[in-house]
Every structure is written in structure tokens, then in C-alpha cells.
């Protein structure tokens, strides 16, 4: 009986506690955790201009303790990457836009037998990229106001 492979995927543009929690929980679902880091083109298409390039994001994710292997995703059809990895489990983050039924249907169409599991939310004040960016913007606005007061 072989190892149970879990696949997790994401952008991982600003790594934060939410990402770490997601990967730790994903690792608990099997023996080997393979993480797919979205390629730059996919990040641009689905989210925004990446702050870090795909190789940098992959290197950072690969350095995390729960991660056994990192793969940079291909543009276009994410199921090509799934077919290469052949995971036993696909772990979805609580806030990932992926629709579980659509994934299950596509896996079935391709003859893949991976279980799809959506993980729970980890609530922390800096558990999301948007929260971090918002905090930086708020801090910059506050600093600007303080500079005005001190300059008066």
C-alpha cells in the first residue's frame, strides 16, 4: 500500500498564517503534501499582478515544514497538473473559489479518484493577503496623519 498523496494549491503571493494553517491541515490528510503554486499568468488572470514571481513563491512554499514537493501550475487547464500529480486527496482552502462539485465531476470525467475536501477557516487578524494589504494601507494613512501633526 503506497503513500497517500494530498494536493493543495494556491497563489501564495504574500505568505501568511492562513496559508501555513491551510498547508498544515492539508498535510494531516495524507502522507505526502504536494503544493501547486499558481503560475504568474494564472495569478494575473484570476487575481492581480503578482508581487513575487512564481519561482520565488514556489521556493518560499517549498521551505515550509509541511510541504514535501512544490509544482508550479500550468496556465489554462489546472486538471493537467492534477493528472500529473494523481493525488488521493485535493485539499481546498475555506476561501478558495473552486466549486467542489465541478472538481468532482471533472475528476470523474478524467478517471481520477481523488477525494475533495474543503478545509476549515483559520481566523487570525493577518490570515489573508487582503487583510495584510489593508493593514499596511491603514498604517501608511495613520503615519501620514501623524507626520502632518508633527510638522505643524
Enter the pTM of the model. Answer: 0.81
CATH 2.30.140.10 corresponds to the domain 5-125? no
**Angle, vertex CA 98, rays to CA 95 and CA 101, nearest 5:** 125
C-alpha 39 chain-centroid distance:
12
Cα–Cα nearest to 36, from 56, 11, 17: 11
Whether 5 contacts 91, CB under 8 Å: no
Tens place of pLDDT per residue across the chain (152 aa): 679 999 999 999 888 888 999 999 999 999 999 999 999 999 999 888 888 999 999 999 999 999 999 999 998 888 999 999 999 999 998 777 668 888 899 999 999 999 999 998 766 665 566 666 777 777 777 777 777 777 76
Whether 117 contacts 92, CB under 8 Å: yes
Cα–Cα distances in angstroms (integers) from residue 95 to residues 86, 120, 130, in the given order: 23, 9, 12
Whether 128 contacts 95, CB under 8 Å: yes
Whether 23 contacts 67, CB under 8 Å: yes
Cell of 17: 498564517
Residue 147 buriedness (CB in 10 A; 0-12 / 13-18 / 19+): exposed
The structural domains of the chain, with segments of one domain joined by +, span 5-125
Amino acid at each position: 500500500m503506497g503513500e497517500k498523496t494530498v494536493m493543495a494549491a494556491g497563489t501564495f503571493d504574500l505568505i501568511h498564517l492562513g496559508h501555513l494553517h491551510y498547508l498544515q491541515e492539508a498535510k494531516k490528510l495524507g502522507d505526502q503534501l504536494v503544493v501547486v503554486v499558481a503560475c504568474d499568468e494564472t495569478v494575473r488572470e484570476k487575481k492581480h499582478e503578482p508581487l513575487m514571481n512564481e519561482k520565488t513563491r514556489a521556493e518560499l512554499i517549498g521551505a515550509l515544514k509541511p510541504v514535501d514537493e512544490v509544482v508550479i501550475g500550468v496556465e489554462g487547464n489546472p486538471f493537467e497538473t492534477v493528472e500529473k500529480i494523481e493525488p488521493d486527496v485535493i485539499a481546498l482552502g475555506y476561501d478558495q473559489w473552486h466549486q467542489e462539485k465541478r472538481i468532482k465531476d471533472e475528476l470523474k470525467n478524467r478517471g481520477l479518484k481523488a477525494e475533495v475536501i474543503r478545509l476549515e477557516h483559520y481566523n487570525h487578524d493577518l490570515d489573508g493577503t487582503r487583510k495584510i494589504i489593508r493593514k499596511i494601507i491603514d498604517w501608511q494613512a495613520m503615519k501620514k496623519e501623524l507626520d502632518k501633526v508633527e510638522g505643524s
